[in-house]
Amino acid sequence: MANITIEGNPISTNGELPAVGSQAPDFKLTNKDLEDKTLADFVGKKKLLNIVPSLDTGICAMSTKRFNDEARDDTVMLIISADLPFAMGRFCETEKTDKVITLSMMRSKNFAKDYGVLIQDGPLAGITARAVVVLDENNKVLYTEQVPEIVQEPDYDKALAAL
């Protein structure tokens, strides 16, 4: 269990991020077209998983825009949250973030559980903590960051360097 904070108040997650060097757990998440997506849908590409509580918050919006701006041809930038696909689509349209792929946990919280980011207590219980996971083309974990304070941005430079 990771111990993190929200504006200085302690909260905890259900577990820990996958270990660097391990094989990433597969997932089934929902895209903007209400299609289920798994890691197999992104085979052969490096993946940056930007795991956020909600795109309706400032830090989540900033990180999504930053990773959109940093997108490369050999990498997919996956933005994962509990937001509904419709809201994520509106965000991307409004903010012109056309290089990221948004994925929703609307059908299952298994992703959050398997990646150890499901918040267990406090006002955000039931959604994800802020984290970044970088995977290689074969879904081996190259880098992880469990952001210790929900209202803090991830370390963009370290995440991008891992790619």
Closest CA to 139 of 85, 76, 72, 80: 76
DSSP 53: S
End-to-end CA distance of the chain: give it in Å, rounded: 26
Q: Is 91 buried (19+), middle (13-18) or exposed (0-12) by CB count in 10 A?
A: buried
Asked if 140 and 22 touch (Cβ cutoff 8 Å), the reply is yes
DSSP character for 86?
A: H
Which one of 17, 55, 60, 92 is the catalytic residue? 60
Give CA 84 to chain center in angstroms.
14
57 touches 28 (CB < 8 A) = no
Of the candidates 157, 128, 132, the one whose C-alpha atom is nearest the C-alpha of residue 143 is 132
92 is catalytic: no
Looking at the annotation, which residues are catalytic? 60
